[in-house]
């Protein structure tokens, strides 16, 4: 990925704090602009997981009576606060219905140009097939407004040969010049047997991380980004085999955080995902008939890309959901708050923090952790009163209770002090 430019953001922040011990803090500041990145030949938001995509650092702190300014280097398309994008499959043949969907996607991208968007198409690129001129035109039309367009390629649970997959990647690239590929039907186990048996533990098996790495290396030699869809949690050694991993695809919404074995939790089985950037992961839910913006904001704490649709099996991705505009506008309004914990003599890591949205939806993480909220929406943030050794003292916004309320207008940091 080539970076066109990186500019320095200077954020000036003014904080007004409620005088009560609840410590409601309102963070305001001027909007920021930044540079556009390039992946392949097409400029759009730097993809999570890409080696050169930088992480936006929090540049402001919620404090009781202070204003601050600080500089940081960022790489983003518009407001750096938006660190979550949409990866939406659009699996239909070229038709007026597909054209209407593409027009809607482009319209929303123009309304919210800072929201990262990827559209996954599924034209067959098998050797012997021919490109669709109309489809090729639509690919370029989306790329022209900085929408990443990926081609869908199934692996049949890693039983399709690497050479066959590479041949299809080559055809897709020559037909449509996509921004990347989505490898579907990725196993969530480490070995296949010689005859494709799953969960294999004998001799002469196929080591799936190596299988995926080989395909990814070939795709990257063509300038493509690689997503992989497993539909559930994967072994930890899959990290790095592709750019971004799909760890949930179901006809219901995922859970966020579990202290018991849970392969459906966005934080991973026993929260192992929290050891890595959320930008390595994405999820998809279909059959979702109603839209809850607070669920989306909370889910974005754990993934770099997401998508919800009301489509139903067996073909849930033929068109956009009726709430697509709400989904985009919600992601466009996300603001991150980083919660940290400190001792008088240093940083305190690993404390559990819970953020509760106005409707009661809550997400958890371990300090330091970046949570997302809707801009200027008040949320409740609670930390451990004690970790068994240290005792909570106060928040950086002046609140003396372990639970405090915060409203942020741009990226911010809230510090819990322990003694």
Same domain, 100 and 184: yes
Query: Can you tell me the distance from the alpha carbon of 70 to that of 238, in angstroms, rounded to the nearest whole number?
Result: 37
Q: How many structural domains compose the chain?
A: 2
Same domain, 259 and 295: yes
Contact 278, 48 (CB under 8 A): yes
* CA distances for 186 relative to 34, 59, 295, angstroms: 35, 38, 26
pLDDT by 10s per residue, the chain, length 419: 332 222 222 222 222 223 233 333 433 332 222 233 333 333 344 444 433 333 333 223 333 222 222 222 222 233 344 579 999 999 988 888 899 999 999 999 999 999 999 999 987 765 567 788 888 999 999 999 999 999 999 999 999 999 999 999 999 999 999 999 999 999 999 999 999 999 998 888 999 999 999 999 999 999 999 999 999 999 999 999 999 999 999 999 999 988 778 889 999 998 999 999 999 999 999 999 999 999 999 999 999 999 999 999 999 999 999 999 999 999 999 999 999 999 999 999 999 999 999 999 999 999 999 999 999 899 999 998 876 788 999 999 999 999 999 998 888 999 999 98
Same domain, 90 and 193: yes
Same domain, 322 and 240: yes
Tokens 């510090």 correspond to: 415
Strand partners, 265: 255
Residue of 416, 352, 354 whose CA lies nearest to 387:
352
At residue 128, the pLDDT reads 62
Query: Can you tell me the distance from the alpha carbon of 47 to that of 76, in angstroms, rounded to the nearest whole number?
Result: 10
Strands (E), 102-147: 117-121
Residue 20 gets which letter from DSSP?
A: S
At residue 126, the pLDDT reads 59
Q: What's CA 382's distance to the chain center, in Å? A: 24
Domain's final residue, options 304, 332, 360: 332
Same domain, 308 and 398: no
The H or E element spanning position 210 is helix 208-221
Domain's final residue, options 332, 364, 389: 332
Domain's final residue, options 302, 332, 362: 332
At residue 46, the pLDDT reads 46
Same domain, 366 and 267: no
| Maximum separation of any 2 CA atoms in the chain, in Å | 71
Question: Range of 264's domain?
Answer: 85-332
Same domain, 95 and 64: no
Same domain, 56 and 197: no
pTM as predicted: 0.82
Residue 113 gets which letter from DSSP?
A: T
At residue 11, the pLDDT reads 25
Q: What share of the chain is helix, strand, coil (3-state, %, to 5)?
A: 20, 30, 45
Same domain, 402 and 346: yes
Tokens of 157: 């649970």
Same domain, 46 and 180: no
Strands (E), 18-102: 25-29, 37-39, 42-43, 67-74, 85-89
Same domain, 285 and 351: no
Contact 191, 208 (CB under 8 A): yes
We report the CATH number of the domain holding residue 186 as 3.20.20.80
Contact 98, 128 (CB under 8 A): no
How many Cα atoms are found within 13 Å in the side-chain-facing hemisphere of 246? 25
Same domain, 111 and 147: yes
Contact 105, 70 (CB under 8 A): no
């Amino acid at each position: 990925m080539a970076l066109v430019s990186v500019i320095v953001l200077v954020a000036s922040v003014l904080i007004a704090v409620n005088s009560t011990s609840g410590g409601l803090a309102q963070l305001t500041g001027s909007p920021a602009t930044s540079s556009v990145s390039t992946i392949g030949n097409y400029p759009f938001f730097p993809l999570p997981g890409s080696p050169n995509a930088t992480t936006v650092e929090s540049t402001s702190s919620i404090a009781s009576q202070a204003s601050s300014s600080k500089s940081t280097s960022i790489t983003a398309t518009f407001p750096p606060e938006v660190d979550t994008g949409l990866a939406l499959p659009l699996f239909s043949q070229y038709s007026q219905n597909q054209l209407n969907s593409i027009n809607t996607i482009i319209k929303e991208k123009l309304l919210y140009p800072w929201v990262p968007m990827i559209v996954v198409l599924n034209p067959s690129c098998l050797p012997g097939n021919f490109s669709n001129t109309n489809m090729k035109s639509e690919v370029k039309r989306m790329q022209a407004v900085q929408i990443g367009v990926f081609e869908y390629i199934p692996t049949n649970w890693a039983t399709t040969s690497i050479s066959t997959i590479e041949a299809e990647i080559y055809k897709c690239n020559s037909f449509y010049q996509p921004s990347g590929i989505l490898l579907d039907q990725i196993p969530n186990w480490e070995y296949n047997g010689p005859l494709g048996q799953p969960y294999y533990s004998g001799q002469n098996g196929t080591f799936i991380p190596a299988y995926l790495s080989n395909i990814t290396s070939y795709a990257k030699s063509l300038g493509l980004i690689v997503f992989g869809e497993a539909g559930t949690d994967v072994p930890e050694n899959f990290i790095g085999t592709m750019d971004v991993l799909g760890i949930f695809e179901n006809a219901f919404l995922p859970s966020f955080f579990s202290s018991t074995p849970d392969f459906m939790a966005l934080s991973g089985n026993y929260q192992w995902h929290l050891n890595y950037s959320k930008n390595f992961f994405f999820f998809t839910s279909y059959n979702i008939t109603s839209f809850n913006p607070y669920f989306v904001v909370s889910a974005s704490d754990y993934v770099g890309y997401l998508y919800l649709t009301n489509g139903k099996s067996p073909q849930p991705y033929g068109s956009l959901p009726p709430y697509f505009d709400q989904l985009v506008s919600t992601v466009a309004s996300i603001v991150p708050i980083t919660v940290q914990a400190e001792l008088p003599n240093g940083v305190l890591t690993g404390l559990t923090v819970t953020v509760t949205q106005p409707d009661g939806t809550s997400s958890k993480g371990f300090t330091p952790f970046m949570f997302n909220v809707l801009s200027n929406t008040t949320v409740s943030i609670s930390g451990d009163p004690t970790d068994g050794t240290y005792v909570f003292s106060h928040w950086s916004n002046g609140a003396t209770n372990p639970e405090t309320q915060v409203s942020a207008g741009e990226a911010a940091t809230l510090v819990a002090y322990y003694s």
